[in-house]
Amino acid sequence: MVGDDPALQAAYLLCRARTKQQDPAEYALIQLVPAVLRPACWALWTAANALDDLADDRTAESEERAARVGEWISALDHELATGTSTDPIRLALVDTAWRWRLDISQLHNAMTLVQHDAHGRQFTDWSSWRAWGRGNLLPWFDQVRDLFDRAGVAVTLRLDRQDVYEQFLDGVRLTDILTDLSADLAQGDLLLPGQSLDQFPGSADDLEQRRWSPSTAGLITDLTGLARRWVTQPALTRGMHPGLATVLDTMADLLRAQLDAVSAAGPTLFHAPPRPSFVTTARLLAPARARAALAWSLTEVTVPPPRRPRHDTVLTQRPRAQRPAFRSPPPHPSGERPPQIPVDQMPTHVAVIMDGNGRWAQQRGLPRHEGHRTGRSAAYEMVYGALEIGLRHLTLYAFSTENWKRDDEEIGTILALLHQELREYPLEDLDVRVRWHGRPDRLPQDVIDLMRMRESSTRDRSGLTLTTCINYGGRDEITRTATALARRVRSGQLDPDLISETDVAQHLPQPDMPDVDLLWRTGNEQRISNFLPWHTAYAELYFTADYWPETDRRHLWQAISEYTRRQRRHGAPLTAVVSHEPQQP
C-alpha cells in the first residue's frame, strides 16, 4: 500500500491515528473510499489540520504562530522538490504528492490564508466569510478530486454545479464553526460574520461572555438552519460515480447529524463541542459501508507506478529524473527537421487563429465541415512541430463565442469532432499538457467532462502546454476577470484604488498563461477576431494566406523563423531593444 519503507509506514500510521482521534467522522468517511486511496486522504487531512493547529496554538503569540506556519510551508516547498522530510506529517504529504502526481503547489494560497488566520479573523459580511472559507477549503478538496482522477475514477463534477459544490463546502465550514464554538470563544475568536450577528441584537456580547440568551438561541437556530440547507444539495451527487456519491451523501448525513447535536446542545454549546450519539452515526455508517463496498467492487481503481525510489535515497534526485519517457512526435513525411532557433530568440508562446477551413472545403466543392475534419490533422501537425522545435506554449483558437452564429449542422460537426478527439486523444503518450480555455455554458457536458479529464491526466507534463480555446471570447475573458476583481473588492481583500496590471493578470481565468509572443493567423484575413486581447497586447502579428487544412508543421517553423527576424521594442528606443535579427550566416 505504501511500500515497505518503515519511516513512511510510520508516517502514514501517524496520520491515520490523528485523523481517527481528532475527527472520527472524517475517519469513518475515509473508510468509505477504496483502501489504496486512504493513506493519501489521511495525509491530506492530517496536514491541513496540523497547519490549523499551528495557527491556533494559543501557547504562542500571534506573530510567533504565523511564523511557525510560514516555516512549515517553506519547509514543505523545499521538501516537495527533494521528495523527503524529517517531519512525519509532511513526509506522508510529500509522498502522497509524488506517488499520485498531485500538484501540491495549488495548496499554497490556502496555506498562506492559514498563516494570516494566526492573527485572528473578523468578517463583516457573508461574502467575505465565504471568500475566506472557500479559499481555505476548496484547494484541499480539489486535491482529493485529483487523487480520484489519478486513480482512474474521474470526479466529473458538472461545471454547472460548481456553485452547488461550493455552497456545500460553505455548509461544511459553518458546521465546523458551530461545533467548535466553545473552543473558539474560549480563545476570544468569533468566526461568524457581523452581518449575521447584527440580526440578533446583543448576540455578539452574549457570545463573548458565553452567555446563553434568547438572542444567541435565535442566532444558533438561524445558523444551523442555514448550514443544513447548504449541506443538503441533492444535485451534487446526481450522475456521479456511486462510490463517490456514497461518500459525499454520507458526509452530508453526518453533517446533518452534527447539526442536530448543535441544535440540541442549548447552553452547553458554549462550553463543549456537541457530538451526535454513537448509535446515530452507526445507523448512518453501516449501510453506507455496504453501499460503498459494492460500488467500488465494480470499479477498477488504478494505482500509478512508484514515481520515486525510497525517500531516503531521493535527496540527490530531482523530480524530473523520474519523469516517464514520452514518445517522440512522428517525423514530417518530407523528413524535414525544425530549424535551429537560438534559445534567446525562441518565442515562449505562439497563438494561432486556425482560419480558412470553410473556404478550403468550398473551394473543393465539399461541405464546410469537411474543412474542419481535415483541419484537425493540421492541428496535430502543429503540436508535433512545436514539440520538435522546443516551443513551450502553443494556443489554438478552435471555436469562438461568436461561432455560435453558424448553422446547427456546422456547429454540431465541430463539437462532434472535438468530442471524438478528446475521447481518442492521440496525443496521450506525448509530453503535452493540455488545457482548455473558454466558457462552459452551451458546450455539451460530455465535452466539458472529457476536457477536464484530459487536463487533469496531463497536468504534470512539462514539455509543451497546449491550450485549446473552445467557446472562447476575449471580451468574455476580460469581463470574467472584472467580475473576479469586483468580488475581491467586495470581500475587502483588494483596494480598488490599488488595482495593478498584475492584479488583473492574476484574476484572468488562466492566470498562468504567458503573454503571446507571436500571433499567427492563416486563411488570408488580417484581424484578431476577439482572440486573447490581454495576452496579445505586445504580440508580433503574422498573417498567411494558406487555408488552415493545407498547413503543416513547416508553416509553424516558418512563422517562428519570421519571428526571430522581428525587432521587439516594447516601447523602448531602438538601441535598447532585444533584437531578433537573423543570425549571421
528 annotated to a ligand binding site: yes
Which residue, 345 or 413, has its beta carbon nearer to ligand IPE?
413
Q: Report if residue 189 touches Mg ion, rule: CB under 5 A.
A: no
Is 355 noted as a catalytic residue in this protein?
yes
Question: Residue 362 and residue 232: Cα distance in Å, rounded?
Answer: 54
C-alpha cell at 282: 452507526
Give the nearest distance from C-beta 524 to Mg ion in angstroms.
10
Residues 316-375 interacting with Mg ion (rule: CB under 5 A)? 355
Among 133, 171, 358, 473, binds ligand IPE (CB under 6 A): 358
Q: Which amino acid is at 437?
A: H
Question: Residue 62 and residue 476: Cα distance in Å, rounded?
Answer: 42
Among 177, 219, 265, 353, binds ligand IPE (CB under 6 A): 353
Among 359, 480, 487, 554, binds ligand IPE (CB under 6 A): 359
Among 41, 354, 422, 532, binds ligand IPE (CB under 6 A): 354
Which residue, 164 or 528, has its beta carbon nearer to ligand IPE?
528
Nearest to ligand IPE by Cβ — which residue?
358
Distances (CA, A) of 514 to 111, 183, 347, 473, 535: 25, 46, 11, 17, 7
Give the nearest distance from C-beta 372 to ligand IPE in angstroms.
6
- Tell me, by CB under 6 A, how many residues bind ligand IPE: 17
Distances (CA, A) of 309 to 80, 85, 302, 321, 390: 14, 14, 19, 11, 29
Which does residue 450 touch among Mg ion, ligand IPE, none (CB within 5 to 8 A, set by kind)? none
401 annotated to a ligand binding site: yes
Among 403, 515, 530, 546, the active-site one is: 403
Give the nearest distance from C-beta 396 to Mg ion in angstroms.
14
Q: Report if residue 356 touches ligand IPE, rule: CB under 6 A.
A: yes
Residue with cell string 462550553: 271
Q: Report if residue 414 touches ligand IPE, rule: CB under 6 A.
A: yes
Number of helical (H) and strand (E) elements in the chain, helices listed first: 21, 8
Q: Report if residue 549 touches ligand IPE, rule: CB under 6 A.
A: no
Rg value, the chain, Cα: 27
Give the nearest distance from C-beta 360 to ligand IPE in angstroms.
6
Distances (CA, A) of 68 to 50, 71, 84: 11, 5, 20
CA 318-319-321 angle, 5° bins: 75
Which residue, 270 or 542, has its beta carbon nearer to Mg ion?
542
Binding mask 499-538 for ligand IPE (x = CB under 6 A): ------------------------x-x-x-x---------
The residue range among 204-212, 317-325, 395-403, 427-435 that interacts with ligand IPE, by the rule CB under 6 A, is 395-403
Q: Report if residue 439 touches ligand IPE, rule: CB under 6 A.
A: no
Is 222 noted as a catalytic residue in this protein?
no
Which residue, 245 or 528, has its beta carbon nearer to ligand IPE?
528
* Helical H segments across 305-367, by residue range: 357-363
Handedness of CA 28, 30, 32, 36 (dihedral sign): negative
372 annotated to a ligand binding site: yes
Whether 542 and 551 have beta carbons less than 8 Å apart is answered as no
DSSP per residue over 411-459, as a string? HHHHHHHHHHHHHH-TTTTSSEEEEEES--TTS-HHHHHHHHHHHHHTT
Q: Report if residue 357 touches ligand IPE, rule: CB under 6 A.
A: yes
CA 47-259-214 angle, 5° bins: 120
Residue 501, judged by CB atoms within 10 A of its CB (0-12, 13-18, 19+), counts as exposed
The residue range among 88-96, 106-114, 273-281, 396-404 that interacts with ligand IPE, by the rule CB under 6 A, is 396-404
Handedness of CA 361, 364, 370, 375 (dihedral sign): negative
Q: Which amino acid is at 11?
A: A
Which residues, in sequence order, are bridge partners of residue 352?
396, 520
Among 355, 431, 449, 517, the active-site one is: 355
The residue range among 211-219, 273-281, 348-356, 485-493 that interacts with ligand IPE, by the rule CB under 6 A, is 348-356
Binding site for substrate, by residue number, is 356-360, 368, 372, 400-402, 404, 406, 521, 527-529
Interacting residue ranges for ligand IPE, rule: CB under 6 A = 353-359, 397-400, 403, 414, 523, 525, 527, 529
Binding site for Mg(2+), by residue number, is 355, 540
Binding site, by residue number, is 355-360, 368, 372, 400-402, 404, 406, 521, 527-529, 540
Interacting residue ranges for Mg ion, rule: CB under 5 A = 355
Catalytic (active-site) positions: 355, 403
